[in-house]
Amino acid sequence: MSEKKHRVSRRQFLNYTLTGVGGFMAAGMLMPMVRFALDPVLRPAEETDLVQVVSVDEITEEPQRFDFKIKQKDAWYESEETRSAWVFKSGDKITALSPVCKHLGCTVGWNNDPANPNQFFCPCHYGRYEKDGTNVKGTPPIAPLDVYQHAVKDGYLFLGKAKPRGEA
């Protein structure tokens, strides 16, 4: 009687075999698709190299906007992205600020609000920043402008990624 309990019928054997083969085939088809979708997420982030922007001789104490291009890789797509920086000197110290407002991401301009001269001004919601990039209290921005990583080599200013003030 114990032999009948442990026997597998032809129908059960066929069911187990087809389920196993079907699962193996499904896994074989799905694994490349999953790998393709997750590969960009699993890759380590590439550090952006410093990009030559301007000669140090052209930098003044008045903030000037300089545009530059960086090469970026987004998953499998490589492109050049144009970025901007407000650059100025304070003595021998060079500061490079991101023009992106910390309130809603609009672009700030220097000295373009007649009511508040010598400040960065965001026209979207009337946000203001001091010359050093700190936000003016009582205006919409909740944090200072981001600061670009920078280096001076051979008389030229090189810029990297923009980081929040505490990390730069």
What's the confidence (pLDDT) of residue 168? 46
Average pLDDT taken over every residue of the chain: 85
Rounded to 5, what percent of the chain is helix, strand, coil?
25, 35, 40
Instruction: State the pLDDT at residue 125.
Output: 87
pTM: 0.68
- Which residue is listed with tokens 């600061």? 147
Residue 133's region, left for phi above 0, alpha for psi from -120 to 50, else beta, is left
Per-residue pLDDT of 1-49, as tens digits, reads 455 577 888 999 999 999 999 999 999 999 988 888 887 777 766 666 7
Q: What is the tens place of the pLDDT at every residue in 118-133?
A: 889 988 888 898 888 8
Alpha helices in the chain (DSSP H): 2-6, 10-42
